[in-house]
Structure 1
Amino acid sequence: MLLHLPRLLDRQQVRTLLDIAERNPYQDGRETAGERLKEVKHVDQLRPSPQDTRTIQNIVMGALGARNEFEDFAFPKGMLIPRISRYGEGMGYGAHFDSFVMGSEHPIRTDLSMTLYLSEPGDYDGGELVLETPYGEEEIKLPAGDAVVYATTVKHRVDTVTRGARVVILTWFQSLIRDPVQRDLLHELTLARKEVRDKLPDSDAAASLLKLNNALLRAWGET
């Protein structure tokens, strides 16, 4: 499953992050790639100042914290510092799996990945994020300010940019629910529970679904 977060950032927040992307230096993404990924990873990664790093983190974390649908989908426990990546003409990222553990100072298990768009679709050609799902390939190219969250276990690629530049923010999350099947089930249960609660707030059904939801969180959750 994946989650589309429309308008996660407003225009001013996108502009602030693009300003950061324009005033800081980049490094070749292959410098941070393992040996097996160096041949397929062609992207520049921003090296922001400490102050700009905090700004990026505060904007992204604040936006996510205000979206209940993200909490209900991801059950987040930990998050890596968001990073800005830029794909210029001729750049892309071949089919790959993300590393299952990331972070140098405070490593986390990467259960979920997020791409947050800073470029508009019309700013570049190519550059589609392509997820290889059991039902076929799914191409994603969203407006600036929108984000998509998906399981890190999904094989994916970024098609080569043929015009312009694709600027995005990437980050990864550790979930309280390790197993992706259990996480999807809890997501569906949470949505059903909230729908019943909103329509029948004082019903036995609402109370039973809340009890079941909490029991499964205790059984499957990791603290």
Structure 2
Amino acid sequence: MIVIDKILSTEEVNAYRNVLADAPWGDGANTAMGMAASVKNNNQADANNDSVRQLANQLLARIGETPKLVSAALPHKIFPPCFNRYNEAQAYGFHVDAAVMRIPNTAEVIRSDISMTTFLSEPEEYEGGELIISTEFGQQSIKLPAGYAVVYPSSSLHKVNAVTNGQRVAAITWMQSMITDVSMRQNLYQLDQSIQNLIKENKTSRTEMDNLHNVYHNLIRKFAQL
């Protein structure tokens, strides 16, 4: 579970919310599959609306431009981002994201390895609405500033607590990683972050940095599934 700081700026968040305020919304349960539909109570922006599709494409591009996110997910395929809204008393009970998803209006499918929630509402704008993720260390409660995102394994049992006051707006998407093994993906992320920190410190010889890059990319070459 990794937090991505400010994947969207304050100005971008405001622009997204202005567009979404005028967008058509529907029952979020209509987009859920299997048992998840029975515990999903929210609204989802119409993905076929031109303005909503444009926002999704902008966020999709931003994912590829965010080094920390690319390092954490090593994405191979990305589901077009969706936008959801929780009003008072709405919630999404414990569920696991579908393992295989079909990209809308295409015949292409992706395996959901990684889920990402990008918060578009400030924490003080609503009460409740925490993203709860079950991990090996217990349940983690996530409620981030607008423009921040969290990525976590799609295999995790998770839920969104009921909003008791205000409104919670967020974007969600799923990624198929080039690296299917969760432990290897975590190790590669830690290795890459260490390499980036060493580059910033500029205290390590070029030879040693080349050796570390060699190890990193050879591990990806060995374990990537494309």
The answer to whether the superposition gives a TM-score over 0.5 is yes
Separation of aligned partners in 1, 2:142 and 2:92: 14
Residue identity opposite 1:62 in structure 2: A
> Which residue of structure 2 aligns with residue 117 of structure 1?
119
Give the superposition deviation at 1:192: 2.2
Separation of aligned partners in 1, 2:149 and 2:215: 30
Give the superposition deviation at 1:188: 1.1
Question: How do 1:100-111 residues align onto structure 2 when only pairs under 5 Å count?
Answer: 100-104=99-103, 105=106, 106-111=108-113
Give the superposition deviation at 1:49: 4.8
Deviations 1:52-104 (Å, cap 9, x if unpaired)?
13321232123323321111111111111111100111111111110111124
Separation of aligned partners in 2, 1:161 and 1:200: 49
Question: How do 1:18-167 residues align onto structure 2 when only pairs under 5 Å count?
Answer: 18-104=17-103, 105=106, 106-167=108-169
Deviations 1:24-70 (Å, cap 9, x if unpaired)?
22111111222412221111111155421332123212332332111
SS at 1:36's partner residue? Answer: helix
CA contact (8 A) 2:23 2:49 kept: no
> Which residue of structure 2 aligns with residue 219 of structure 1?
222
- What is the number of residues matched between the two proteins? 222
* Structure 1 unaligned spans of 5+: none
TM-score (normalised: structure 1): 0.93
Separation of aligned partners in 2, 1:123 and 1:184: 33
Residue identity opposite 2:35 in structure 1: R
Separation of aligned partners in 2, 1:118 and 1:174: 23
Give the superposition deviation at 1:18: 1.0
Give the superposition deviation at 1:207: 2.1
SS at 2:35's partner residue? Answer: coil
Identity of counterpart residues, as a percentage?
32
> Which residue of structure 1 aligns with residue 178 of structure 2?
176
SS at 1:39's partner residue? Answer: helix
Separation of aligned partners in 1, 2:115 and 2:153: 6
Deviations 1:125-160 (Å, cap 9, x if unpaired)?
100001111111110001111111111111111001
CA contact (8 A) 1:177 1:220 kept: yes
TM-score (normalised: structure 2): 0.92
Residue identity opposite 1:207 in structure 2: D
Residue identity opposite 1:222 in structure 2: Q
SS at 2:21's partner residue? Answer: helix
1:207 aligned onto 2:206 = no
* Structure 2 unaligned spans of 5+: none
